[in-house]
Amino acid sequence: MKSLLRPFLAVIAALAFAIPVPAQAPGVKLRTVVIDPGHGGKDSGCVSRDKQTYEKTITLDIGTKLAKKIAAAYPDVNVVMTRSEDVFVELEKRAVTANNAHANLFISIHVNSVDKGTTANGYSIHCLGQSARKGNDLFSKNLDLVKRENSVIRLEDNYSTRYQGFNPDDEQSYILFNLMQNAHLGNSLAFAGDVATAMGSDPIRTSRGVHQDPFWVLWRTAMPSVLIEVGFITNPDDLQTMRSADGREAIADNLLNAFAQFKFRYDGTPVPDFPKRTAAPAAPLAEPVEAKPVEAKPAETPAAEPAEAKPVETPVAEPVEAKPAETVSEPAEAKPAEATPDNYAGPVYGTQILAIGREMDPSDEFFRGYKVRCIRSGRLNKYVTGISESLESARKNFAEIRKFFPDAYMVKIQDDISVPVR
């Protein structure tokens, strides 16, 4: 335990004075995205019950499709893959790839499974964090998944030394993740929310939610990072979708839509009008997935020490979609926005300044005197201010509000549903 604790404390001390660059600041652009197809080579990942389909093949195919789609839609974005063929890549090298590429976003693609039964289904999205303390239902539910994904380090040479005493089967190792929270947690959870929204349309519609879990690869990446379990290989319906070329295409399309929404908030790039598509019937269950060569540019992975993630003081008990502001210790005087009544007849426009799992008092000093309206969205409470029936008026409010909330963005509200304004 001591060998694992020391590097955590050292990193915290080294990064104590680091200042993260806020999203949407002038000149900030999302220039590089790293796509990480899980497993590969001697590490097959999950295997279907009929032994015909492997997680490593599904993730590579979806990752390849996503890489090509992003490259086509955003020629100015450098798309990097941690692996472009069926090879084994160590967890540490995946993080090194992302850090050396100076990526602005890391997307790790995986497939879920259960030891018994076939009813568990659906997709889930995971960001860095401690699930909960031992005994909590959420911790018990996700710990087996976390252990399985992290256990790949046992396939690496000299893993005990390389991972500084980390034991993927020891729950105490995971408790120490509380000491190191990703400085990019807000943006990670914002992208996770985008993925949850995009994936809910088709072809695997069951959402298992957004979770915070101690995945090693997410901790070692120094940028907004998410791990996506696109479906259950042990569920017949999910498996049928993932075996279908059209099903995998649709999943990649959903991830592209999520990326587009995130990039819009990150640097203001308009969301393209992607063509609508409908997935064709899936291939027979017995048909295995065929891996295809990847044309996206693979990154070099020198054995350099990866950059460490920056610590933050943000509580991680509940997921959020946007960065909890780090500048609220000394609230500045702000002119309150106009009232935000809940009884508008038609659509209204406003500025979303926070999305958080817990409910907050509208008079909380975090809001700096602004009158806010809470929009409930799944497990999240989205707080919107500067609401107006006029888009032009709302834009003027937005310009003032962003001076105090740099990560804020405009939304349209109708029928208690908020969506970003392009």
Domain at 380, CATH number = 3.30.70.1070
Average pLDDT score over residue span 364-369:
83
Of 237, 267, 297, the domain-final residue: 267
Task: Answer whether residue 367 shows pLDDT above 50.
Answer: yes
Q: How many CA atoms lie within 13 A of 159 on its CB side?
A: 15
Q: Are residues 373 and 240 in the same domain?
A: no
Residue 185 lies in a domain: yes
What residues contact residue 386 under an 8 Å CB cut-off, 6+ apart?
A: 337, 338, 340, 350, 351, 370, 394, 397, 398, 400, 401
Task: Answer whether residue 422 shows pLDDT above 80.
Answer: no
- Mean pLDDT value across the chain: 73
Give the phi and the psi of residue 27 in degrees, each rounded to 5.
85, -10
Q: What is the pLDDT of residues 387-406, one digit of tens each?
A: 999 999 999 999 999 888 87
Q: Are residues 246 and 356 in the same domain?
A: no
Looking at the chain, the whole-number percentage of residues with pLDDT higher than 70 is 62
Average pLDDT score over residue span 213-234:
85
Cα–Cα distance measured from residue 355 to residue 77, given in angstroms and rounded to the nearest whole number: 27
Residue among 146, 185, 181 nearest 167 (CA): 146
Residue 322 lies in a domain: no
Residue 241: its pLDDT value, please? 97
Residue 395 lies in a domain: yes
Instruction: Reduce the secondary structure of the chain to three states and give it as a string.
Output: CHHHHHHHHHHHHHCCCCCCCCCCCCCCCCCEEEEEECCECCECCCECCCCCCEHHHHHHHHHHHHHHHHHHHCCCCEEEECCCCCCCCCHHHHHHHHHHCCCCEEEEEEEECCCCCCCCCCEEEEEECCCCCCCCHHHHHHHHHHHHHHHHHHHCCCHHHHCCCCCCCCHHHHHHHHHCCCCCHHHHHHHHHHHHHHHCCCCCCCEEEEEEECCHHHHCCCCCEEEEEEEECCCHHHHHHHHCHHHHHHHHHHHHHHHHHHHHHHHCCCCCCCCCCCCCCCCCCCCCCCCCCCCCCECCCCCCCCCCCCCCCCCCCCCCCCCCCCCCCCCCCCCCCCCCCCCCCCCEEEEEEEEECCCCCCCCHHHCCCCEEEEEECCEEEEEEEEECCHHHHHHHHHHHCCCCCCCEEEEEECCEEEECC
Task: Answer whether residue 118 shows pLDDT above 50.
Answer: yes
Q: How confident is the model at residue 288 (pLDDT cuts 50, 70, 90)?
A: very low
Q: How confident is the model at residue 318 (pLDDT cuts 50, 70, 90)?
A: very low
Q: How confident is the model at residue 185 (pLDDT cuts 50, 70, 90)?
A: confident
Of 267, 295, 313, the domain-final residue: 267
- Residue numbers of the domain that contains 145: 2-267
Cα-based distances in Å from 118 to 115, 243, 287? 9, 16, 19
Looking at the chain, the whole-number percentage of residues with pLDDT higher than 90 is 36
Cα–Cα distance measured from residue 413 to residue 417, given in angstroms and rounded to the nearest whole number: 5
Average pLDDT score over residue span 216-245:
91
Residue 27: its pLDDT value, please? 64
Of 248, 267, 286, the domain-final residue: 267
The answer to whether the beta carbons of residues 337 and 299 sit under 8 Å apart is: no
Q: How confident is the model at residue 45 (pLDDT cuts 50, 70, 90)?
A: very high
The answer to whether the beta carbons of residues 288 and 278 sit under 8 Å apart is: no
Instruction: Out of 32-46, 80-94, 197-211, pick the least confident.
Output: 197-211
Q: Are residues 254 and 365 in the same domain?
A: no
Q: Are residues 98 and 203 in the same domain?
A: yes
Average pLDDT score over residue span 68-78:
97
Cα–Cα distance measured from residue 354 to residue 322, given in angstroms and rounded to the nearest whole number: 6
The answer to whether the beta carbons of residues 65 and 243 sit under 8 Å apart is: no
Q: Are residues 258 and 355 in the same domain?
A: no
The answer to whether the beta carbons of residues 113 and 233 sit under 8 Å apart is: yes
203 cis-preceded (ω within 30 degrees of 0)? yes
Residue 344: its pLDDT value, please? 57
More confident call, 81 vs 301: 81
State the CB neighbour count (10 A cutoff) for residue 208: 17
Q: What angle do CA 88, 90, 94 make, to 5 degrees?
A: 105
Residue 345: its pLDDT value, please? 56
Residue 338 lies in a domain: no
Q: Are residues 92 and 183 in the same domain?
A: yes
Domain at 48, CATH number = 3.40.630.40
Dig out the tokens for 66 from the structure: 């996503």
Count the residues in the chain: 422
Q: Are residues 177 and 61 in the same domain?
A: yes
State the CB neighbour count (10 A cutoff) for residue 267: 16
Residue 263: its pLDDT value, please? 93
Amino acid at 184: H
If one counts the domains in the chain, the total is 2
Residue 13: its pLDDT value, please? 38
Query: 226 forms bridges with which residues in the sheet?
Result: 107
Estimate to the nearest angstrom the gap between the alpha carbon of 63 and the chain centroid.
15
Residue 113: its pLDDT value, please? 93
Task: Name the one residue in this structure whose structure tokens are 């120490």.
Answer: 176
Q: What is the pLDDT of residues 238-276, one digit of tens each?
A: 999 999 999 999 999 999 999 999 999 888 899 998 876
